[in-house]
Copies of this chain bind each other. A is one copy, B any other.
């Protein structure tokens, strides 16, 4: 092993080798040791410190149409924070930290045209730039504020409440004066949601089993105004009946449905949508880049002032990457899942 800051050795890379039907399994990836790349003309060479594991990755590896894809034979696309080793770009000098599409690999050659954001360790340590100050934070902020259109005193329900995005939505919503209700699986996650992630109430869908709908009706006699949904499937089915007229649904993920290659069936929603005048929006954060700067400034303030706290679930080493996506779907992760690459 080579120490951080050195470009000696090899570039360990996690390549995509086949499409996934449903949740990508380890055999969709292959770990390859390649030569360390050259610094590209006008660009930078970085050493990856930590890299994200995202539910969105399932879609990128699916045969189904998606908003983004990763082809077989490519390094797995992932956001990461890295340290600049070499730079031919005047905006960067060796030693700088940066955030961008570094991929699941130890060394990343990044073209001058690629988006690379400065990471300021005086604001927060590197991993926080993959959670509160990264796409998770932006997704939570934009989904809640732009699509959820919250009004102080309203009730929001968040599924996958202990997850990387859900936990931030809870904290942001509580800060905005909403009553925040989290749904998560298991006692430790609901405990986490209630004590650390801003939720006033946390419901364990596993303990509730088939009675989640009844439990929500009992807990929420005044109904729900915003549903920030990360799961789809049976959890969403239990929330729909308690939605109020004019409720907004933010569809941020579908983690409870492992396979969409054959479209699963569920209760038809047209009547609810019509009678309750619902608004149901798909959230892909890249659609809202015009608002990133405003969101990011707010997230930084909220993190600095202690309103937002980061919850990380860290896997050690790239060798963990091929099996990492399964953890998002088997319910074992708490908070933002990432890989500590810089061992």
Contacts and interface: CB of A to CB of B under 8 A. Distances in A.
Interface of A: 59, 64-67, 229, 232-233, 236, 245-246, 251-254, 257, 260, 263-284, 287
23 contacts: A59-B275, A64-B275, A67-B245, A67-B275, A67-B276, A67-B277, A229-B270, A251-B273, A251-B274, A252-B274, A253-B274, A254-B271, A257-B271, A264-B268, A266-B268, A273-B280, A274-B284, A275-B282, A277-B281, A278-B280, A279-B279, A280-B280, A280-B281
A280 B236 CA distance: 16
B287 A274 contact: no
Given A273-B280, A275-B59, A279-B280, A263 B267 contact: yes
Contact of A257 (B265, B268, B284): B268
A270 B283 contact: no
Contact of A274 (B254, B272, B278, B279): B254
B277 A282 contact: yes
Given A66-B275, A67-B245, 12 more contacts: A233-B270, A251-B274, A257-B270, A257-B271, A263-B267, A264-B267, A266-B268, A269-B269, A272-B282, A274-B283, A277-B287, A279-B282
A278 B277 contact: no
Given A67-B245, A274-B254, A268 B279 contact: no
Contacts of A233: 268, 270
Contact of A232 (B254, B264, B270, B276): B270
Of all A-B residue pairs in the complex, the 10 with the closest CB atoms, nearest first, are A232-B270, A280-B280, A277-B282, A273-B282, A266-B268, A274-B282, A263-B267, A260-B271, A251-B273, A251-B274
Contacts of A257: 268, 270-271
A278 B268 contact: no
A282 B276 contact: yes
Contacts of A246: 287
Contacts of A66: 275
Contacts of A245: 67
A273 B277 contact: no
A281 B279 contact: yes
B270 A277 contact: no
Contact of A263 (B64, B65, B268): B268
Nearest to A68: B275
Choose among A64, A275, A284 the residue with the greatest number of B CB atoms under 10 Å from its CB. A275
A242 to B, nearest CB: 12
A281 to B, nearest CB: 5
A245 B284 CA distance: 11
A131 B256 CA distance: 45
Contacts of A277: 67, 281-284, 287
Choose among A67, A236, A263 the residue with the greatest number of B CB atoms under 10 Å from its CB. A263
A265 B265 CA distance: 6
Contact of A278 (B64, B254, B270, B282): B282
B236 A275 contact: no
Nearest to A284: B277
A271 B65 CA distance: 10
A123 to B, nearest CB: 30
